[in-house]
Structure 1
């Protein structure tokens, strides 16, 4: 699997390679080049050279290519999903959902290609103004390993529909499906140089891309510390930034909630993709009237989950993506228990033995009686561990929900519209779900507040972040 530059395979001779490991087995399944500053420069040059012709195409023509790419992704979805599971670890049904989700995103942006992208301003005797939206130029997208295909769609779709060219850097542990989809986009008719993929570590390849003077915009999804470094590295270049930096989403369950539905929501919201989602349920707040029964039922459901290789039939939860992720989760749980900051209700340990010895598996974990300042509540825990807190009323739940430095998503489970309105008004989050959690359709703007980042992805407004206004003043 070679790196794609300007639509062709980059030479592999004398390069250092990055091995891609199956997190369920520990085996190397492929390798990709460790891109250097020279590869980044070549990719940006290719994107810059392609920008003139691509930006002159109509949005309809660009949308048609996105639509054809969606068709090809659907044609190959089984092979793409299997590849995604092998490199990322998630169960095959989740990979299938993600691959189809990428096709949905491309179809959505193709469908809005004809929307007007400007306005006229009438100034009477002073004249008239025509305001249009024009593309920025060469953009960069840096995507994470947890949802690499979906997030590729989030960034590629609006960027190229708006007339930009793009250099994309996938995560080093999950580059393979991104490369395959880039190839399908070329098969769909995307001209050479419009989309370029460079593989390599963030500290070298990513940094070179972020600091490149010809890159006009950077869209990054990842951890908070890296987001701050990107902001610091670009402070002298006036680049447009979209930073999605994760979250610690609270789920608030009130006494009048549909309990079976809320239990399923908590289960899926925390253990989907082994909890490795920025909008996963990361803190569960239960009203004291229903807390005991809720936990009894939730514990039974969590203990019944089948953990295993994502390609095996019947697997509910796959492994963590890497040994490093497994170590982080095991460490934070051990520290929590060692400090008497919580009580394990179920789980709390890596899975070993037959079927698990070479993979990065962790038992689905519920922890109750969590101390207010425990790391489980104050940090973003990127794995299958759910801290549970009992609250006496809605006011207490809102106060606890807002104690986090993040503000990405939150959910409330209730039948009372006044409760919904209060949560919407008072909880710091970019998206509030009501009686559901986790779902983000391509039509819906997505992004957070506080340390969860800046900017929005998805929806028609995402096109604004890939364009700038240009005004023609007509003096009659």
Structure 2
């Protein structure tokens, strides 16, 4: 087993361990190594489940107030370490430092919210009927597995782990192999002061082997997953033989609708922010922009001005507002979508090619922030999630047309509406078939709001008062006194 303590990225039963094998984590902007992490397999995963099961009875019975206090203290530690955590995230994920720090601070707020929700996760007493009252008790589901993505490696981990812990569930975290480092550090901060086995972490380049081993064990009672739709549906199929609570937050194909009564400069700023944050590598990034015909000619230059102000580069460099794609597979998909759109009649209004860094050392998968005009609903970019910094623009005439086209997808995670007439905006919001709708703002994710999608974008919710429900079972008690 390697002796390098820096590869001890497995937390199992309260002990930090390494593994027989390790893997390299690289900076996606430079392709240079950042660190190495332990490469766990099924053996380590099942050891973590053993520890979680052993820790469950005591953590389940721990007072909600005590659990909340521990999580609140962890949130304070995250805030205190925000700068170093953000730098680590930028190094392994590539997003600009300001975005990374914002994600860290958002993670702390999510942990605070989870702590308070644990205090509020009470049952109820029903009116007397027959011989006595009825009770509805809330009980933690049991050991949980949190599978987190590379694009938001801090906030997704904290949101899942925080709610599980607040509910009384031990949780095993599996960070994405591209971004295990910031997840490991967050686990260190949260686990400090928790009983052994309550929070554990498994880093691996063999996610299928590790997850399959855990799914085959009926002691695992809950899975929370953020990632691709194909993988998420596979996790759901694993419950065919025995049911397990499964929360899924999967792909998106988010529309934005700019109505002709919108504040156009504000709408342009909002669309650009919602599209190009994290280089468009977000499940809630705007993928399709619908602009009403009367304001199209006035709106487009405002949008292009915002896009022209974006500055690609290394996320740690001052002034960078657009980092690289996570890998070249993502870049290939972006190029394929742009080439298909142009072939089918779209025009490149901005960008449209790989970005060539002006300084040596940047060898990652950079792509210029791109706007395509003349897009239609038959193009690949109209039917597939691009997951990159490319924004196709469509023109519409009637409000109902925009809603119909926006809903014409198998996905239903997030949608955006820009407009000023309250009744009109409300009608549009009410008819959009998406789990999250933002009105005149680019960032609709808040700890106090439930987050999740409809259709093939997922099931169950994280955040809000609904978030903790995914980790609790209801137990009915009928009493005769």
> Is the structural similarity TM-score above 0.5?
yes
| Aligned-partner Cα distance in 2 for 1:379–1:341 | 18
Q: State yes or no: 1:268 paired with 2:249.
A: no
1:348 equivalent in structure 2: 352
Which residue, 326, 331, 336 being the options, matches 1:331?
336
2:13 equivalent in structure 1: 6
Which residue, 373, 379, 383 being the options, matches 1:374?
379
Give 1:94-105 correspondences, 5 Å limit.
94-105=99-110
Which residue, 53, 58, 62 being the options, matches 1:57?
62
Which residue, 247, 256, 261 being the options, matches 2:261?
256
| Aligned-partner Cα distance in 1 for 2:170–2:378 | 45
2:22 equivalent in structure 1: 17
2:50 equivalent in structure 1: 45
| Aligned-partner Cα distance in 1 for 2:96–2:18 | 34
SS of equivalent residue, structure 1 residue 148: coil
Instruction: Report the number of matched residues.
Output: 472
Q: State yes or no: 1:195 paired with 2:199.
A: yes
Q: State yes or no: 1:220 paired with 2:241.
A: no
1:88 positional shift: 0.5
Over 3 Å counting, the alpha-carbon distance change for 1:165 and 1:391 in structure 2 is: same
Contact 2:416 2:437 in 1 (8 A): yes
Which residue, 429, 433, 440 being the options, matches 1:435?
440
TM-score (structure 1 length as normaliser): 0.96
| Aligned-partner Cα distance in 1 for 2:257–2:105 | 30
Give 1:157-176 correspondences, 5 Å limit.
157-176=162-181
1:253 positional shift: 0.3
1:353 positional shift: 4.4
Contact 2:259 2:419 in 1 (8 A): yes
SS of equivalent residue, structure 2 residue 221: strand
The range that moved more, 144-153 or 351-360, is 351-360
Contact 2:62 2:168 in 1 (8 A): yes
| Aligned-partner Cα distance in 1 for 2:17–2:345 | 51
SS of equivalent residue, structure 2 residue 294: coil
Q: Which runs of 5+ in 2 are unaligned?
A: 1-6
2:191 equivalent in structure 1: 186
2:321 equivalent in structure 1: 316
Contact 1:67 1:110 in 2 (8 A): yes
Q: State yes or no: 1:287 paired with 2:292.
A: yes
SS of equivalent residue, structure 1 residue 107: helix
Q: Which runs of 5+ in 1 are unaligned?
A: none
1:387 positional shift: 0.7
| Aligned-partner Cα distance in 1 for 2:323–2:220 | 37
| Aligned-partner Cα distance in 2 for 1:170–1:112 | 24
The range that moved more, 342-351 or 156-165, is 342-351
Contact 1:149 1:178 in 2 (8 A): yes
1:463 positional shift: 1.3
1:261 positional shift: 0.3
1:233 equivalent in structure 2: 238
Q: State yes or no: 1:296 paired with 2:301.
A: yes
| Aligned-partner Cα distance in 2 for 1:425–1:448 | 15
1:9 positional shift: 1.9
- CA-to-partner distance for each residue in 1:258-281, whole Å, 9 max, x for gaps? 000000001101000101111111
SS of equivalent residue, structure 2 residue 411: coil
1:307 equivalent in structure 2: 312
| Aligned-partner Cα distance in 1 for 2:263–2:127 | 53
| Aligned-partner Cα distance in 2 for 1:474–1:342 | 68
| Aligned-partner Cα distance in 1 for 2:195–2:381 | 47
Contact 1:249 1:283 in 2 (8 A): yes
Q: State yes or no: 1:26 paired with 2:23.
A: no
Give 1:380-459 correspondences, 5 Å limit.
380-459=385-464
SS of equivalent residue, structure 2 residue 247: strand
- CA-to-partner distance for each residue in 1:328-384, whole Å, 9 max, x for gaps? 2122222332x3242211111111243374122110010111121211111111110
SS of equivalent residue, structure 1 residue 219: strand
SS of equivalent residue, structure 1 residue 129: strand
2:4 equivalent in structure 1: none
Contact 1:409 1:430 in 2 (8 A): yes
